Amino acid sequence: MRTKIREFRKEQKITQEELAAMVDVTRQTINSLEQGKYNPSLELAYKITKALNKERIEDVFIME
């Protein structure tokens, strides 16, 4: 799975630490998600989408 987390995060000037705090995970988990190493649960994907002010999960997470 590919994600646009880094792109949207930079767009909104949010650091990995800040996003991690917003969705209640560690910075390492955000880093792992950005690198496409970890596939999140539906709940976490939803939280991240909302934290990045996006409408749909598919806007942030892209299945390949």
Partner 1 sequence: MIIAKPEWFTRRKYGGWGVGIKTWQGAVYIAGMVISLIVMLQFTGQSTQAKLAVTGIWMTFLLIDIFDVMWKLKLDEREKMHEAISERNAAWGMMIVLVLGIFIELTYNVMNNRVYVNPFMAGALAVGVIIKSISNYKLEKNN
Q: How many residues does the chain have?
A: 64
- The Cα 50–Cα 64 span in angstroms is 22
Query: Among residues 1 and 11, whose Cβ is nearest to partner 1?
Result: 1
In the complex, what is the shortest distance from the CB of residue 23 to partner 1, in angstroms, rounded to a whole number?
9
Query: Among residues 47 and 54, whose Cβ is nearest to partner 1?
Result: 47
Please pick, from the candidates 3, 9, 16, 40, the single residue that binds partner 1 as defined by CB under 8 A: 40
Query: Among residues 44 and 57, whose Cβ is nearest to partner 1?
Result: 44
